Amino acid sequence: MTTAYPYEPDTQLIGMVADGVYAPQEDSQLLIDVMDKTALALGSNVADLCTGSGVVAVNAAIQGASSVSAFDICPKAVRCARANAQVHDAAVEVYLGSWARATEFGPYDLVVCNPPYVPHDSSIEPVPSTVGPARAWDAGFDGRMVLDPLCAAAPGLLADGGSLLLVQSEFADPRRTLELLSEAGLDADIVAWEWIPFGPVMHSRAQWLEETGRLQPGRREEELLVIRADKP
């Protein structure tokens, strides 16, 4: 179904970041590069869910999408994404809301998403607020608070022949994502991966991940993955 794309960054993250908005990092870059290499945005009606600063949506427009709609539940993120689209002269419509709102404007040829996916527990010491808003990464004990409902909603967002590109961490059980997307009738596979060193968020919960058996003692790097799911 798909071709695997080992990570070889050849684009640059763009965008201004406002206080309280997730700053684009390696996961956004990986998603953008896969979108570019697959040319899935070209000529497509695209939706970017959990858009944050709007960096993926803006890049979809730059890559030749026929239309781009971006969605986020955070008003600050919506304002930031709109500003970035204007600065880069990108035709992106940004809306306040989740994928439930996105269904009003679909279906889409391509849906892209960099959701919150980091496992979290109340016992973990929070990272400094200067790192960013916790809602941008905290996703429950198993990291799947957003991933599970997103997988269930994906078929309804996609047009026939459409594709989903989703980035997540190894610690949020990518096999479960593949299972749920397959159960929903989509043809899903991992198409890209990248190993990165822990940043402040992952360092803050490394000991907890070790204690819960999800991280080998002493390892301080994680694997990011991009999953592609196609609707027949």
Q: 115 and 166 in contact (C-beta within 8 Å)? A: yes
Instruction: Provide the pLDDT confidence category of residue 16 given band limits of 50, 70 and 90.
Output: low
User: How far is 82 from 104, CA to CA, in rounded Å?
Assistant: 19
Mean pLDDT of 167-186: 98
Residue 173: what residue type?
D
Indicate yes or no: pTM above 0.85. yes
Helix (H, G, I), strand (E, B) or coil at 50: coil
Rounded CA gap, 223 and 169, in Å? 6
Q: pLDDT for 95-122, tens place per residue?
A: 999 888 999 998 999 999 999 999 998 8
Q: What residue ranges do the domains of the chain occupy?
A: 26-230
| Residues above pLDDT 90, as percent of the chain | 79
pLDDT of residue 2: 37
Class of the 26-230 domain?
A: alpha beta
- Which one-letter DSSP state was computed for residue 126? P
CA distance 16 to 183: 38
Q: How confident is the model at residue 13 (pLDDT cuts 50, 70, 90)?
A: low
